[in-house]
Structure 1
Amino acid sequence: MASLSFITKIVTTTLVLLLIGLLNIEVTLVSADNQEWYYDWNVTFQYTAPLGVSKQIIVINDEFPGPLLNASTNDVVNINIHNNLDEPFLMTWNGIQMKRNSWQDGVQETNCPISPGHTWTYSFQLKDQIGSYFYFPSLQFHKAAGGYGPIRIQNDELVPVPFPQADFDYDILIGDWYNANYRTLRNALDNGMELPLPDGVLINGLGPNQASMDFEPGATYRLRISNVGLRTTLNFRIQEHLLLLVETEGTYTMKQYYDSLDVHVGQSYSVLVTANNTGDVSFYMLATSRFTPMPLVGSVFIRYSGFQGMPILPPNSGLDLYDYRYSLDQALSIRMDLSVGAARPNPQGSFHYGTIRINRLMTLRNDVAFINGRLRHTVNSVSFVHPDTPLLLADYYKLPDEFQTESIHDTPDEIFPRMGVSVINATYHDFVHVVLQNPLIDIQSWHSDGNNFFVVGMGTLPWTVRNMGSYNMYDAIYRSTVQVYPTSWTAIMIKLDNEGMWNFRSQNAERWYLGQELYIRVRGEGKDDLKNISPYDQAPIPANVLKCGRAASL
């Protein structure tokens, strides 16, 4: 199978780029045995102008997007991050389920930042998972400057992939883009202002019509699509080609054909596309904004037989920008394939989540508020404020007054919106029912680090216990990022099978930066002391742990 494709960048030069099918030469083929992989990444600034305006961006090993992180189920991954920026830096791994090791999660309350000019090595073992994901910077609004890249977790050789092997395998990173410097955007948020509409949409770091991709007639292409943007849902399609959905965030789906897919911020999908045309012809690959006042469009030329002409069809998505019903119906149509294995040989459906006793009901309502005269976003009336010491270190060293687990309630309250360090205590192996409520008129996107969840229902507010009768308790999709439509609710169920301090956040970078997040502290029953643990509990503190805040001298 070919794993690399050359795609011509359409500029005045004849420069050939590796736009799609990003490849890290340090990683070779995976095997059935657990392996250990080593990456060495230099994080630096460069200038580029994907939308015609020069902008300082973050690159990894001089690449934008960054290199592919490629491993297999249960492998150990080691990544040296050399921070050559002039600000502290962290990388997080969107959707990667590390085994009991939130020390490596790469968000502000699990890791101290890597100081400018310094290096730190992430080292973690993957859980039992496969699939398509991405990484991105988690601090200082750095994501607005890029710094993201694709992740693939391959099947163990003993577990067959439940669809024909594709001839080509490509990573497609789509996302909204601002021409403004990330510092300018960050300062606007710090001063209580909302961000304007993005300036456009990029596909693998390039603006509209800046790249082309050759299709070979009759060949099958696996496209691993991730929305790496800041805030905008994107509709993905290829003109005159159907998308066969086969996987989303580590779960093999029932195979269904779609004309297009709504990919919400932070989500990842795998589709198969058959090159079913012949002759000299071109089509558009499109990523079009949804639920925005005006359409923003990213595009790549799909060309057969090396044809260099323009597509005949116009770059029109054919969708009503605000057709929430279409998007909701599509979301509810995505189901788990119960009959196939994924990370393990046993079928995905052998975990009968619908028969598990629910230990806890949590209702989390997002909202917007002005606190101390500044715009903030809240969860159950609390807008997250970062303490002096990362929560995981504060928990390990038992530092008083850094956080209190009763600071946020399980249900919305009518207390005046406030700042707080939102931490929820939870017990290992609990099965938790979470209702995400969105009273606002714009779409939300939520992500869980450490533990995936079953998306069992969606509907319009208000939510009541009667709505549980409409839940899908049989083959709901299992994933890490889910949308909540305007004035609506989404119900998820989480098996807390990964101990640690795990981030639960808005995937909208603006809302996350302004406080729409919390942490779930998962501990075994009666095991509250991180310093006295067994190999089956939360991983021990890393030998190379970075210390900051009140833990700096400990």
Structure 2
Amino acid sequence: MGKRDLICLCSTILALWSVSFVQAEDAYRYFTWTVTYGTASPLGFSQQIILINGQFPGPKLDLITNDNVIINVYNKLDQPFLITWNGIKQRKNSWQDGVLGTNCPIPPNSNFTYKFQTKDQIGSYTYFPSTLLHRLAGGFGALNVWQRSVIAIPYPKPVGDFTLLVGDWYKFNHKVLQRRLDSGRYLPFPDGLLINGQTHSTFTGDQGKTYMFRVSNVGFRTSFNFRIQNHQMKVVEVEGSHVIQNLYDSIDVHVGQSVTVLVTLNQSPKDYYIVASTKAFSSGKGAPPVLKATAVLHYSNSQSSVSGTQPAAGPDNVQWSLNQAKTFRWNLTANAARPNPQGSYHYGTIPITRRFVFANSVPTIGGKQRYAVNGVSFIYPDTPLKLADFFNIPGVFSLNSIQSYPSGNSASLGTSVVGTNLHDFIEIVFQNNERSMQSWHLDGYDFWVVGFGIGQWTQASTATYNLVDAPTRHTVQVYPGSWTAIFVTLDNQGMWNLRSAEWGKQYLGQQLYVRVYSPYQTFANEYNISSNALLCGKAVGRL
């Protein structure tokens, strides 16, 4: 073999190896989902639910960092439908966000193909319907993103993993509950709590081995406390952030949040209770009932069924839960989805470009109960905001149509859009003046949760911020009569939904949109509109 032949052969081998490596690490994953109605008995009697490929909950997505995901969704319901990917950042691609401010809904008997990448993410996430009150009927599922083979994780690999989708549930049909909200009445308290769509489940493992439990709150309105009888839980990740690995007897998980824990089966071989129960963060005669769902941790060599007293929940008070939340801290020496340490990004030293203080309220507008942010109760126009922005369609929304601080003025209906610029570094303070819990989510981003406090936020509150090792999350709780502060690097151009994760409040106006703008419309900043985009309202015929 000559030198030239040897070089060609080596080049060919290298090229083939490179292609193989790229395909292995940045694979394309194809799925076809059909969304239908079905019947199930999650609370012991038959009721209509939403199925994906005949499953409730929907299919679990097990993906790898940087996977390219193609999901063709067929809507066989009698209403328009969308799915949003809770916590997936959609880098440069808000076109795939799956909410009504960016996408036209999929009409009945039609389909839409989502195309997104799990870019630079590792962790436990979820997906769910974002249209109407479909989330109350099902259509949700787990979305787990595993690390690439070249990325280390800061803990020994567990021998197995379990996904637990925990959420409150109603016995009423979602259309009945929607009519109730539309009429201006409060929703009743939920009727039950489910784990993976059931009131009883079993998870089996081997004695002496360690397992990962991915616990997500897929509920409509209630926080829950999670625990496992006689077993401690080591928290290793919250919504994509590797955290300091503390041990907990029980953990509070709020609406829209996910937490990943490791559990070592180090007890005698028998069965143990797994318990989730709702938390009201209130007391007295007005406190709602406690809902509970139980499951079983079954040792594979168990000779005994569950017995004894079920493990007690953490105290049902704000201070205990708030103190626990502060113990979730970034592991500065651990990598994220890239090799560089999480602590290499010194968020606490970056100058704040702009501050927002968003206060929630429960006004009556036109004789009906609504929810509002800084005096504006959000309503959707007939044209998605993203499409209106892209096609320069006038009359759909106005920038800065919501004030940066609460004014105390009476509330009104409106389409709230905040104007920001690409690479701004902003602070958002959520002020909760209600007696109930709040939970806030920002699409397209994760953010540093830098502060919690009871009472009214003031400038002096910034002295209590954690500017060193606050974790990043995509959903954060705000306790009754309290505030929560976050920092956000606006590095993802697009139109992004900032909303209450409690879907009834979101539905009745507790949300807004953040427009992250750059005058330079390049693929380096944002992808172009997808060729299969659905068009509606004033955008019809624009492509």
Per the normalisation by structure 1, the TM-score is 0.91
Indicate the residue corresponding to 1:34 in structure 2: 26
After superposition, the C-alpha distances for 1:474-502 in whole angstroms (9 at most, x for unaligned) are 00010100000011000100000100000
Alignment partner of 1:287 is 2:276: yes
Alignment partner of 1:551 is 2:539: yes
Of 240, 244, 250, the match for 2:230: 240
Indicate the residue corresponding to 1:540 in structure 2: 528
Matches of 1:470 and 1:213, distance apart in 2:
41
> What percentage of residue pairs aligned between the two structures are identical?
47
After superposition, the C-alpha distances for 1:199-221 in whole angstroms (9 at most, x for unaligned) are 110000101xx322223111111
Matches of 1:131 and 1:230, distance apart in 2:
22
After superposition, the C-alpha distances for 1:245-292 in whole angstroms (9 at most, x for unaligned) are 00010000000000011000000010000011233x221111100015
Aligned residues: 516
Alignment partner of 1:104 is 2:93: no
Matches of 1:59 and 1:308, distance apart in 2:
37
Alignment partner of 1:342 is 2:330: no
Mapping for residues 29-68 of structure 1, pairs under 5 Å: 33-68=25-60
After superposition, the C-alpha distances for 1:364-395 in whole angstroms (9 at most, x for unaligned) are 00111000111000000000000010101111
Matches of 1:79 and 1:257, distance apart in 2:
38
Q: Which amino acid letter does the alignment assign opposite residue 276 of structure 2?
A: A
Matches of 2:522 and 2:439, distance apart in 1:
35
After superposition, the C-alpha distances for 1:102-127 in whole angstroms (9 at most, x for unaligned) are 11000011110101111110001233
Indicate the residue corresponding to 1:434 in structure 2: 428
Matches of 2:538 and 2:522, distance apart in 1:
26
- Alignment partner of 1:115: what SS? coil
Q: Which amino acid letter does the alignment assign opposite residue 83 of structure 2?
A: M
Aligned partners of 2:273 and 2:311 also within 8 Å: no
Matches of 1:285 and 1:399, distance apart in 2:
53
Deviation at residue 418 of structure 1 after TM alignment: 0.3
Alignment partner of 1:387 is 2:381: yes
Aligned partners of 1:360 and 1:433 also within 8 Å: yes
Of 119, 130, 149, the match for 1:127: 119
Of 127, 143, 154, the match for 2:146: 154
Indicate the residue corresponding to 1:216 in structure 2: 206
Of 372, 376, 386, the match for 1:378: 372
Indicate the residue corresponding to 1:317 in structure 2: 312
Matches of 2:313 and 2:536, distance apart in 1:
51
Mapping for residues 90-489 of structure 1, pairs under 5 Å: 90-207=82-199, 210-279=200-269, 281-291=270-280, 293-305=288-300, 307=302, 310-320=305-315, 322-489=316-483
Deviation at residue 465 of structure 1 after TM alignment: 1.1
After superposition, the C-alpha distances for 1:382-435 in whole angstroms (9 at most, x for unaligned) are 000000101011111111110001210111112210000000011111110111
Matches of 1:404 and 1:260, distance apart in 2:
45
Matches of 2:23 and 2:341, distance apart in 1:
21
Indicate the RMSD between aligned Cα atoms, in angstroms.
1.4
Q: Which amino acid letter does the alignment assign opposite residue 357 of structure 2?
A: T
Computing the radius of gyration from Cα coordinates, the structure with the larger value is 2
Aligned partners of 1:241 and 1:274 also within 8 Å: yes
Matches of 1:323 and 1:406, distance apart in 2:
37
Q: Which amino acid letter does the alignment assign opposite residue 512 of structure 2?
A: L
After superposition, the C-alpha distances for 1:299-320 in whole angstroms (9 at most, x for unaligned) are 1122223647542223353433
Matches of 2:187 and 2:80, distance apart in 1:
23
- Alignment partner of 1:327: what SS? helix
Deviation >6 Å, runs of 4+: none
Unmatched segments (≥5 aa) in structure 1: 1-28, 528-532
Change (3 A) 1:516 1:319: same
Deviation at residue 538 of structure 1 after TM alignment: 2.0
Aligned partners of 2:277 and 2:313 also within 8 Å: no
Per the normalisation by structure 2, the TM-score is 0.93
Of 51, 59, 64, the match for 1:72: 64
Indicate the residue corresponding to 2:498 in structure 1: 504
Deviation at residue 225 of structure 1 after TM alignment: 0.7
Q: Which amino acid letter does the alignment assign opposite residue 508 of structure 2?
A: L
Matches of 1:302 and 1:132, distance apart in 2:
20
Aligned partners of 1:32 and 1:158 also within 8 Å: no
